[in-house]
Structure 1
Amino acid sequence: MTIRFTQLALLALTAAMLTAPLATAKAAPSRDEIDAQFRQWITRDLWPAAQAGGINRTAFDKALQGVRLNFDLPDLVPPGTAPPKEQNQSQAEFSSPAAYFNEKRLQGLAATGRTLASQHAATLRRIEKTYGVPGSVLIAIWGRESGFGRAKLPYRAIDVLATKAFMSTRKPLFQQELISALHMVESGDVSAEKMMGSWAGALGQPQFMPSSYLKYAVDFDGDGTRDIWNSVPDSLASIANYLVKSGWQKGRDWGFEISIPQGVSCAQEGPDRAKPVAQWTKDGLERITGKPFPEAEAALPAMMLVPAGTHGPEFLVTPNFYVFKEYNNSDLYALFIGNLADRIAFGGSAFRAPWEPLGKMLRSDVLAMQKALVAQGYDVGKVDGLPGFKTRRSIGEWQAKNGLAPTCYPSADLKAMLR
């Protein structure tokens, strides 16, 4: 009886231990409870940070009057919930980039862009004289970012920034952007009610974050206000100022589509492996159009770029290409802007070489390859599952070292070899 009782007692105790966490687990807070915490955060955390950033109390209270949490925004981590686990999703970068360069869309943007370039020709000439950035480049960015100012901006930026500063996966970043937005309101540039933006807090026709607005927005139409919501001159000149202050080199192109001959490795790309254009020509790189490189480029540095390795178009790019990436840190974005600008200015067309179909790779697959390469002494850049130029060229170098023809791009068969 004693043994039997002890066994039953142990079973009961074990069951109680197993179920205890379920019994004591707290339910996720309601939206009303989260909103109450949000109001406390504004007073306890945001105001001291804003005050330290130079915002006065009257402007702070006025700007945040009526501020609301937007629970429909992405990348939120409400109090009492855990951050979402990184999902091993197949992303556009890991399949053929062809979809990014949708020809119908590019043709439509180019046609509209040429019309608007003609319509705003006088303004564009003044901007180019002031900043040295071609009008076609400004029109291309304007079209890509906000559909030439026609895209709807349905969100109150203060609501978006406050929501993300309180409960996003990148709270410090958005808190600083929120304080920058408060400076905009305090200075009289725009009221909180009229500061409309995207779901990410990007503002106006150039889609500037508030910190970028403070640094780069200009009053080009002379009305005393830096209005990137309603003024085309202000919007286009602000984009030009952004590019110039990010390093734009006047008189240089952004880049050229090329062909890399057999025997020349694709593992030479990257801004840290620049050579004069004349040296690349001596190495056998040629423009895919058959035209010579401009004479003015011969002695200037340029960089190889193979965003899909040997499975897509190949490029020789100038430092201005990397200025595009300051606007949006993506090789494909920068190529899109360059190609669209060429279409607007010269009637250019799609890249000559096709984007070949690629086997879909998960981010976790690329991450595994990066770790394997790092273990063998390769510099892949940031180990994050994204195939940047250092990862691409490390793959090419590993392939050459192991007797394979370099392709400079991750694939399933390479992943198996790199284990």
Structure 2
Amino acid sequence: MKTNHLLAASAALVLFAAPARGEWSSCLGGLRHAAAGAGVSQQTVAAATDGLEPNDAVSFMDKQPEFTTPVWDYVAGLVDEERVAEGRVLLQKYSSALHAAEARYGVDPATVVAVWGVESDFGKSFGKRPVVQSLATLACEAPRRNDYWRKEFVAALKILDNGDIRGDEFMGSWAGAFGHTQFMPSTFLGTAVDLDGDGRRNIASSAADSLGSTANFLRKSGWRAGEHWGFEVRLPEGYSGPSGRTHKQPMSFWEARGITRLDGGGLGGGSAGLMLPAGRNGPAFLVTKNFDAIYSYNAAESYALAISVLSDMLRGRPGIQTPWPTDDPGLSRAERRELQALLTRAGYDVGDADGVIGTKTKEAIADYQSRVGLPRNGRASLKVLKALRGG
């Protein structure tokens, strides 16, 4: 759950290194006191915080890709045939847990597995930063929302104190989200379930607990059993009517404005909002309350759309059919790995060809773009890949 501008990152790292030792110690002392006041044992507080130093978490604020990346890049990197194939295998492997979760919470297996795929690539990418360290850093040094980070820090120590997660497996993202489906600590305390029945709610090492916890989260967020998230639609020529995910109207309202399913059929019953993630010249979707439940997991429409489309493809349905309004589409993860391999062959140091477009890859792309006459923006795109293939 992500970097863009090297100068901004460098500046943030300078700020990260600057706080005085006394300020950190004083703030950490306050966090320890708050945790103890919330009932966390002194043994757990000491084990989690003795010798704790800040990390680089603050440098990643304001760089979440769901807010900084074109929607066609974002979706292309998360929803591809590779992820669909793996997701279908896991639907079978964890069918018992998924059906138990559906029976208890009313959320279908494909949606739960789609969340798993987007959040952690099915458990392969939890994040490498200690959760307690990241949250302490953000609570003490973030430029805003310090009260939020303090509450999450205390929640994290409660999790350790309860024994659900061991300290050595409590690793996550820069923001403190952790486990197969990347819960924040406060979300975990209020939502996590012990689906596998071993006495621990452990989304770090139990896929079953993670799947059940995700289904429970979506149920608590308003999921309606048996209702779909929505579907792609066709707008009439020159459509200028209302739109917006939250502008829910009966399907008859949208039919009266000439909106149809892609095959020209009727919209059916219920109500939905018209979502235009790339404007009126791109794909259009009618989305229901279930889309809103997915959105609540991470408040970004591109994120919720990626999960929704992936869930459809796991069911055997097609992905997005309408082209995005760009002449330079985004790349799948396989294509991103190919791009990195070609950059390496061209003499650039981008590290491993892992499909993750980090700082080294962006710098290499930008230099290559300058060399071949493409706009210099460091973006991994089809034009760059085609140029590398032809070079």
> Aligned equivalents of 2:235 and 2:130: distance in 1?
49
Of the three residues 186, 197, 220, the one matched with 1:222 is 197
> Aligned equivalents of 1:163 and 1:233: distance in 2?
31
2:97 aligned with 1:117, yes or no? no
Residue 310 of structure 1: aligned partner: 280
1:103 deviation in Å?
Answer: 7.0
1:57 deviation in Å?
Answer: 3.3
Larger radius of gyration: 1
**Distance change (3 Å), C-alpha of 1:291 and 1:29:** closer
2:51 aligned with 1:66, yes or no? yes
Q: Does structure 2 retain, via aligned residues, the 8 Å contact 1:303–1:317?
A: yes
> Aligned equivalents of 1:92 and 1:180: distance in 2?
26
1:159 deviation in Å?
Answer: 0.9
Residue 341 of structure 1: aligned partner: 311
Moved more, 258-267 or 206-215: 258-267
Of the three residues 4, 21, 25, the one matched with 1:35 is 21
1:247 deviation in Å?
Answer: 0.6
Aligned-residue CA RMSD (Å): 2.7
SS in 2 for 1:101: helix
> Aligned equivalents of 2:168 and 2:319: distance in 1?
42
TM-score (norm 1): 0.69
**Which amino acid is the alignment partner of residue 74 of structure 1?**
S
**Which amino acid is the alignment partner of residue 50 of structure 1?**
A
Q: Does structure 2 retain, via aligned residues, the 8 Å contact 1:140–1:340?
A: yes
Q: What does residue range 367-382 of structure 1 map to in structure 2 within 5 Å?
A: none
1:142 deviation in Å?
Answer: 0.1
Residue 404 of structure 1: aligned partner: none
Q: Does structure 2 retain, via aligned residues, the 8 Å contact 1:255–1:318?
A: yes
**Which amino acid is the alignment partner of residue 70 of structure 1?**
N
Tell me, which stretches of 5 or more residues in structure 1 are unaligned?
1-27, 77-85, 360-419
**Distance change (3 Å), C-alpha of 1:50 and 1:136:** same
Q: What does residue range 44-63 of structure 1 map to in structure 2 within 5 Å?
A: 45-63=30-48
**Distance change (3 Å), C-alpha of 1:95 and 1:181:** closer
**Which amino acid is the alignment partner of residue 98 of structure 1?**
W
Q: What does residue range 165-244 of structure 1 map to in structure 2 within 5 Å?
A: 165-170=139-144, 171-244=146-219
**Distance change (3 Å), C-alpha of 1:29 and 1:303:** closer
> Aligned equivalents of 1:340 and 1:328: distance in 2?
16
Q: Does structure 2 retain, via aligned residues, the 8 Å contact 1:75–1:169?
A: no
SS in 2 for 1:55: coil
SS in 2 for 1:303: strand
> Aligned equivalents of 1:214 and 1:93: distance in 2?
27
> Aligned equivalents of 1:99 and 1:268: distance in 2?
23
**Distance change (3 Å), C-alpha of 1:93 and 1:267:** farther
Overall identity of the aligned pairs, in %: 34
> Aligned equivalents of 2:16 and 2:72: distance in 1?
44
1:29 deviation in Å?
Answer: 10
> Aligned equivalents of 1:327 and 1:249: distance in 2?
15
Moved more, 232-241 or 187-196: 187-196
**Distance change (3 Å), C-alpha of 1:179 and 1:130:** same
> Aligned equivalents of 1:30 and 1:244: distance in 2?
39
1:280 deviation in Å?
Answer: 2.0
